[in-house]
Structure 1
Amino acid sequence: MPEPMKIARVRWACRRGMLELDVLFQPFVEKHYEAMSNTDKAVFVKLLECEDPELFAWFMGHEVCKNPQFAEMIIRVRGRPAA
């Protein structure tokens, strides 16, 4: 597994083209990223590589993410406990 990104690069990757995504990602990174496991960091960084329209659909609940690791991370970022 690749080494997790440095926090400055993750912050930059969280700057998206959609305010709705910025409002979710930036506070999450500031509060939780450094305390996450390397595995979770890698999943989060990989999630950030997805396109904005796809992320928007998943985070706003318009579509269900089929990747189970991404789906779990989406729940964490949204701040809602998994059912």
Structure 2
Amino acid sequence: MSDNEDVTRRRLYWHSRRGMWELDLLLMPFLEDRYDQLTPSDQVLYRELLANEDQDLFTWLMRREWPRNTELRRLVKMIVEHAETTDNSRRQAL
């Protein structure tokens, strides 16, 4: 990983930590497990998602509403599905 990529990764890590436990539980594992496999355009979209207010992120990630932007909606659904899949995997391992 280049120095620039390392700096970007650290920034993403800190921007993904929102201070709301519920958001951290969804965003942090997604960043760690899936971000590197996203297309470059989806990586940009993830960074754009993080620019939103916590209340909006909470509403979207708790599936109370979906973002109006279809691309953001798709990414939010990817994050939610990742959390559900990861949670189910943990339960099966027990």
Alignment TM-score > 0.5, same fold: yes
Structure 2 unaligned spans of 5+ = 83-94
Greater Rg over alpha carbons, structure:
2
Counting aligned pairs with the same residue, the percent is 32
Select the residue among 64, 67, 79 that pairs with 2:66.
64
Q: Which amino acid aligns with 2:22?
A: E
- Displacement after TM superposition at 1:61 (Å): 1.4
Q: What's the C-alpha RMSD, in Å, of the aligned pairs?
A: 1.6
Map Cα deviations across residues 35-76 of structure 1 (whole Å, 9 max, x no partner).
211100000000000000011011111122101011000010
2:28 counterpart residue number: 26
Residues in 2 aligned to 1:36 and 1:61: alpha-carbon distance in whole angstroms: 22
Bigger share in helix: 2
Give TM-score, length-normalised by structure 2: 0.76
Q: Which moves more between the two structures, 15-24 or 5-14? A: 5-14
SS in 1 for 2:67: coil
- Displacement after TM superposition at 1:11 (Å): 0.7
Structure 1 unaligned spans of 5+ = none
Residues in 1 aligned to 2:33 and 2:73: alpha-carbon distance in whole angstroms: 20
CA contact (8 A) 1:14 1:22 kept: yes
Residues in 2 aligned to 1:63 and 1:49: alpha-carbon distance in whole angstroms: 18
How many residues end up aligned between the 2 structures? 77
